[in-house]
Amino acid sequence: MSAVDAAKIWSLNYRVLVSVIACAEPEICALGLESKELFLLAEIDEHPYPAELAAALSMPKATVTVYLKRLEAAGLVRREIDPADLRRHRLLLTPAGRKAAADGLALLSAEFNKRLGRLTVAQQKELKGLLERIV
């Protein structure tokens, strides 16, 4: 496969993702979140330290800090001293934050399902297998 083909595949993938986010954005905003804040919430359990979160999401640390301050003020995230290292703060989702993350991810899933519905079940399985091989 040529580089042009790879670039075209990458572009199509990007367009699907952007389209899903754009279509779900109004409903995500109705939850009181921006889509980037939703992605932060969705990663906190796996990456509970701000620097880790920034790296996992390929976001500047300063940007993550701004979003985290907003999420903390909204009562969706809290910081606590890490008992294993008293110099570090660990992020935790509050029950409201956990619900907002679940609700927001459900909106994205529903929007993505609309696109997957254009494929047969066999095509969906094939797509899943291909994406797993790429990852």
Range of the domain at 39: 3-134
Q: Are 105 and 6 in contact (CB under 8 A)?
A: no
> What's the number of domains the chain is made of?
1
Alpha helices in the chain (DSSP H): 3-30, 35-43, 50-57, 61-73, 95-116, 121-134
Q: What pLDDT does 22 receive? A: 96
Q: How far is the C-alpha of 64 from the C-alpha of 60, rounded, in Å?
A: 6
- Please report, rounded to a whole number, the percentage of residues in the chain having pLDDT higher than 70: 97
How much is the pLDDT for 76?
98
What would the mean pLDDT of 85-104 be, rounded to a whole number?
94
The average pLDDT across 7-33 equals 95
The CATH code of the domain that includes 15 is 1.10.10.10
Q: Indicate the pLDDT class of residue 12, thresholds 50, 70 and 90.
A: very high
**What is the rounded average pLDDT for all residues in the chain?**
94
pLDDT digits (tens, 9 = 90+) for 24-80: 999 999 999 999 999 999 999 999 999 999 999 999 999 999 999 999 999 999 999
Instruction: Give the confidence band of 135 by pLDDT, cuts at 50, 70, 90.
Output: confident
**pLDDT band per the 50, 70, 90 thresholds, residue 1:** low
